[in-house]
Every structure is written in structure tokens, then in C-alpha cells.
């Protein structure tokens, strides 16, 4: 009798989930999701990984997944603690011979699998490509070739066939345990995370809710009108619900399949015609795809100050500048609006993210990794590969052939908020502060 442990990670769905399909080829199945204690502890950049926006979205997503599994006579077991320890306990107690999960792309996540393999040499561990467009064996490039940049990857990836998405399973193997234990949040989850987020703005992503059902509904709504055909014209807007697809939270939690989204896009093009906007949507899906495989190739260098570059980088962290940037109290109204929107909603447009990151790196001259860590904490759609890969790109330590990006804040303001509507909405009362209130010796500036 084969008993399989299926470790849910960034694949919180039943539809088009090849890893779940693979795990279901078993006599008994134990479905587990681990709430990682490290998410709530200040890590190497003095901020916790998990912020309240993403936490509430995750809770909604897990509730949706649990209900879907229950309908198939399965259960979702949520373990709290350090994943390697929790998984070790489950493997030992239930005599698990096989562990299946979706492929992990961050080096921290991969270390958990390495630890399990060393602890249980006879354990069969299968990683399945459930969160990307392509399977690993489809990739036309070696890890070393991925480091050459996005354009060579895109040119070859556009010639590949995206695997067809599969339907959700009609049944699953019997559960290892029949009753779901009553679980309460452990004390190490801060009290502020246990209350519903009070700062939900109208039409915010968090107000729609996490989970596969909500994600499918949003996917249907977005492709039911003409918005995809106008995407390229509005994608750089700083604000507005309809100016981007807003699919990233469900994609990055795995509530939606990337292949299902691509299939929906192609069906839309068959009905409404292909244009530059629909092609640009797929272009950005390829960017996301590229960052996943690049992160896998980079390993720990994804978090290194120099990244893939050889040149020295700003390695300082000025506490006052950092706090002002985080909370939207800088000398630049546009930056203040971006950072306050991010803090209130957990979301920021792609253009806003680039401008805010450029300011952190170039105007404030600080260690880019601390900015990336703040985004990790705040973003409702955080993805390890996309977030850290993009920050490396802006900082000039990634794969940008131009060696980084520096956005002129005044020009960006004039171009993307000429009437001041965005600033008026998100930072109408932000004080006009100087960059620093203390000099290098920490004496007040007179």
C-alpha cells in the first residue's frame, strides 16, 4: 500500500494541478499545508516576510481549498511551525514513502526538500511543474544560458507549446486521517494578524478574496469584456482597477493555473482578435516564467548584494530614510502616494513598483535588498522569484543589459500623474519633508 504526502505550497487549487494529479496516484493521501513560523519573525533584513494583507488572502485561499478537498472526501491539514520539522513528524508518524509537491524556485524553500532527502534517504520526493507555463524538460536553455537575459529566453520560449491545462480531479484517494483536528493559531502569530484587516478600500483585491473560486471568477470577469484588447494602452497607469489584469495574487498563491490563464487568453484572441495588447499580456506572462527559472538557476545569489554583477553596490541602510520611504514621508509626493497605497492595500501597479524601487536605490542610495524585503512584507501578490528578480533588475545586479534603471521622479510624475489625481488620492496630506533631518554625525540640521 502506497501512502503519499502531498505538500501544498504555491498551488492552492484543484484545477490544472499536475502535482496533485501525480500525488493522487496512491492508495492513501495526506494533504498538508505548512504555516512557516519564519514568515512572522524578522529575518535577515529586519522585517518579517508575511504581512497582514497577504496573510488574510492566504487564509481565504486555504479556506477555499479546504472546502474543495472536503467535497472530494479529502482533508487539508494545516501544520504550524518550521516546515521541515512538521513534515518530518508527519512522514515518521504515518510511514510516508512518497512526498509530492510543486517545484520550488526559491533557495530557502529548496533547502527544506534537501533537508528531508537527507533525513529520509529512502523517501521518494517528486517535484512537479504546476506553477509555470512550461515543464522543466521543455526549457530550451540551460541554467547558464538563462543568465544571459530575458530576450534570448523569450525568443525561444515563444516557439514552445504551452501544455494544455487539465480539469480538476473527480475523486482522490482515501485520506490518511479521517478527522480534521481542531486548530487554533499559535501564540507566535501576532495578534494583529488574527483580526480582519480594517483598511480595505473599495475594489481592493483583498476585498474580493483569495481562493480558487474567487480567482476563477475574476479571470472570467476580466476576459468577458474589452479590457484585454486595451491592456497595453493603460498598463502603465498608476491607479485604477481596470488598468491591469490584477491576476497576480491568485497566480502567485497558485489559486489560478498559469496554463489556464494562457488558455483563456488564447480563447479571447480567437473571439476578439489578437492585437498588441493581448500579445503584451502573454509577453508579461513570459517575464514571470523567466523569473521563476532564473531564480532556480541563481540559488542563494538571488539575495546577494552583488547578485549577478561584479560592481560594488550601495550597502548602507539609513534608518531614517528607510522609515520615510516605507511609510510614504519622503520629499517626493509621487513616492509617498505609491508607498501609502502599498501599505494600505497590499498592492501597487507595476509602474509604481519600478519608480519606488528606483527611488530607494538611486535617490536614497540604500541596499536594495531592504527595499525588496519591505515589498515582500507588504505585497498581497508576493512571489519570491518575481519580487527579488525585479529588484535585482532595477538595482543593476540582475539580468538587465543596461545595468539597472533610474527613473526621474519629476518626469514620471508629469507623465503618469499630470493632474495630481493619484497623489491627491493616496497622499494628500503628506508633509514636504527634507530627505534627512540629521547629518552624518546624527546632529540635528540647523
**SS3 per-residue string spanning the chain:** CCEEEEEECCCCCCCCCHHHHHHCCCCEEEEEEEEEHHHHCCCCCCCCCCCHHHHHHHHHHHHHHHHHHHHCCCCEEEEEECHHHHHHHHHHHCCCCEEEEECCCCHHHHHHHHHHHHHCCCCEEEEECCCCCCCHHHCCCCHHHHCCCHHHHHHHHCCCCCCCCCCCCCCCCEECCCCCCCCCCCCCCCHHHCCCCCCCCCCCHHHHCCCHHHHHHHHHHHCCCCHHHHHHHHCCCCCCHHHCCCCHHHHHCCCCCHHHHHHHHHHHHHHHCCCHHHHHHHHHHHHHHHHHHHHHHHHHHHHCCCCCCCCCCCCCCCHHHHHHHHHCCCCCHHHHHHHHHHHHHCCCCHHHHHHHHHHHHHHCCCCHHHHHHHHHHHCCCCCHHHHHHHHHHHHCCCCCCCCCCCCCHHHHHHHHCCCCHHHHHHCCCCCCCCCCCECCCCCECC
- For the segment 335-362, the average pLDDT, to the nearest whole number, is 96
The model's confidence at residue 205, banded by pLDDT at 50, 70 and 90, is confident
Count of CA atoms in the C-beta half-sphere (13 A) of 371: 31
pLDDT at residue 199 in the model:
47
pLDDT in tens, 52-108: 999 999 999 999 999 999 999 999 999 999 999 999 999 999 999 999 999 999 999
Instruction: Specify the range with the lowest mean pLDDT, choosing from 42-46, 178-182, 403-407, 409-413.
Output: 178-182
Task: Give the whole-number percent of the chain exceeding pLDDT 70.
Answer: 94
Q: What are phi and psi of 99, to 5 degrees?
A: -120, 130
Q: Is the pLDDT of residue 366 over 70?
A: yes
For residue 219 the three cell numbers come to 479571470
Angle between helical axes of 350-358 and 368-378 (0-180°, round to 10): 150
pLDDT at residue 204 in the model:
65
Instruction: Specify the range with the lowest mean pLDDT, choosing from 112-116, 195-199, 403-407.
Output: 195-199
How far apart are alpha carbons 55 and 378 in whole angstroms? 10
pLDDT in tens, 210-239: 999 999 999 999 999 999 999 999 999 999
Q: Is the pLDDT of residue 445 over 90?
A: no
pLDDT at residue 309 in the model:
86
Q: Is the pLDDT of residue 446 over 70?
A: no
How far apart are alpha carbons 368 and 351 in whole angstroms? 17
pLDDT at residue 441 in the model:
53
How far apart are alpha carbons 41 and 63 in whole angstroms? 24
The model's confidence at residue 203, banded by pLDDT at 50, 70 and 90, is low
pLDDT at residue 225 in the model:
94
- For the segment 406-431, the average pLDDT, to the nearest whole number, is 94
How far apart are alpha carbons 324 and 331 in whole angstroms? 9
Q: Is the pLDDT of residue 439 over 90?
A: no
pLDDT in tens, 379-401: 999 999 999 999 999 999 998 88
pLDDT at residue 143 in the model:
85
- For the segment 398-411, the average pLDDT, to the nearest whole number, is 90
Q: Is the pLDDT of residue 434 over 80?
A: no
Beta-carbon contacts of 14 under 8 Å, excluding residues fewer than 6 positions away, are 20, 65, 68, 69, 72, 168, 169, 212
- Cut 0.85: pTM above it: yes
Sign of CA dihedral 172, 178, 182, 184: negative
Q: Which among 112, 165, 111, 107 has a CA at the least distance from the CA of 135? A: 165
For residue 142 the three cell numbers come to 540551460
pLDDT at residue 198 in the model:
46
pLDDT in tens, 288-306: 999 999 999 999 999 999 9
How far apart are alpha carbons 424 and 410 in whole angstroms? 16
Q: Is the pLDDT of residue 326 over 70?
A: yes
In order of their start, the domains of the chain are 1-130 (3.40.50.620), 132-164+211-299 (1.25.40.80), 319-426 (1.10.579.10)
Instruction: Specify the range with the lowest mean pLDDT, choosing from 39-53, 324-338, 404-418.
Output: 39-53
Q: Is the pLDDT of residue 272 over 50?
A: yes
Pairing mode of beta strands 124-128, 76-81: unpaired
pLDDT in tens, 98-118: 999 999 999 999 999 999 999
Amino acid at each position: 500500500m502506497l501512502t503519499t504526502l502531498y505538500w501544498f505550497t504555491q498551488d492552492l487549487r484543484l484545477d490544472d494541478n499536475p502535482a496533485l494529479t501525480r500525488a493522487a496516484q496512491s492508495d492513501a493521501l495526506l494533504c498538508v499545508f505548512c504555516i512557516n513560523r519564519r514568515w512572522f519573525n524578522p529575518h535577515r533584513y529586519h522585517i518579517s516576510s508575511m504581512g497582514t494583507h497577504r496573510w488574510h488572502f492566504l487564509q481565504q485561499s486555504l479556506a477555499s481549498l479546504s472546502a474543495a478537498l472536503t467535497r472530494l472526501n479529502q482533508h487539508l491539514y494545516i501544520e504550524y511551525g518550521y516546515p521541515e520539522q512538521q513534515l518530518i513528524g508527519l512522514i515518521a508518524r504515518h510511514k510516508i514513502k512518497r512526498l509530492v509537491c510543486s517545484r520550488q524556485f526559491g533557495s530557502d524553500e529548496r533547502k527544506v526538500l534537501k533537508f528531508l532527502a537527507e533525513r529520509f534517504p529512502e523517501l521518494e520526493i517528486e517535484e512537479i511543474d504546476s506553477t509555470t507555463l512550461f515543464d522543466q524538460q521543455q526549457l530550451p536553455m540551460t541554467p547558464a544560458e538563462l543568465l544571459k537575459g530575458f530576450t534570448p529566453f523569450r525568443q525561444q520560449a515563444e516557439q514552445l507549446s504551452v501544455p494544455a491545462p487539465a480539469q480538476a480531479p473527480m475523486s482522490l484517494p482515501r485520506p490518511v486521517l479521517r478527522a480534521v483536528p481542531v486548530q487554533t493559531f499559535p501564540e507566535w502569530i501576532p495578534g494583529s494578524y488574527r483580526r480582519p484587516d480594517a483598511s480595505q478600500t473599495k475594489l481592493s483585491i483583498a476585498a474580493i478574496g483569495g481562493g480558487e473560486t474567487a480567482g476563477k471568477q475574476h479571470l472570467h470577469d476580466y476576459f468577458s469584456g474589452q479590457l484585454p484588447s486595451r491592456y497595453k494602452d493603460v498598463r502603465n497607469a498608476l491607479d485604477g482597477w481596470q488598468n491591469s489584469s490584477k491576476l497576480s495574487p491568485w497566480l502567485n498563491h497558485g489559486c489560478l493555473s498559469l496554463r489556464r490563464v494562457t488558455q483563456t487568453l488564447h480563447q479571447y484572441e480567437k473571439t476578439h482578435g489578437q492585437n498588441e495588447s493581448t500579445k503584451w499580456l502573454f509577453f508579461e506572462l513570459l517575464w514571470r516564467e523567466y523569473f521563476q527559472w532564473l531564480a532556480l538557476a541563481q540559488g542563494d545569489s538571488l539575495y546577494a548584494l552583488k547578485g549577478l554583477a561584479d560592481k560594488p553596490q550601495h550597502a548602507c541602510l539609513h534608518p531614517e530614510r528607510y522609515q520615510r520611504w516605507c511609510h510614504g514621508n519622503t520629499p517626493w509626493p509621487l513616492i509617498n502616494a505609491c508607498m501609502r497605497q502599498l501599505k494600505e492595500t497590499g498592492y501597487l501597479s507595476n509602474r509604481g513598483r519600478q519608480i519606488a524601487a528606483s527611488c530607494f536605490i538611486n535617490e536614497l542610495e540604500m541596499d536594495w535588498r531592504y527595499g525588496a524585503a519591505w515589498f515582500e512584507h507588504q505585497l498581497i501578490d508576493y512571489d519570491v522569484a518575481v519580487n527579488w528578480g525585479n529588484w535585482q533588475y532595477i538595482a543593476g545586479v540582475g539580468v538587465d543589459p543596461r545595468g539597472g534603471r533610474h527613473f526621474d521622479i519629476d518626469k514620471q510624475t508629469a507623465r503618469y500623474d499630470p493632474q495630481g489625481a493619484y497623489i491627491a488620492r493616496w497622499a494628500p496630506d503628506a508633509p514636504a519633508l527634507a530627505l534627512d533631518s540629521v547629518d552624518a554625525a546624527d546632529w540635528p540640521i540647523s
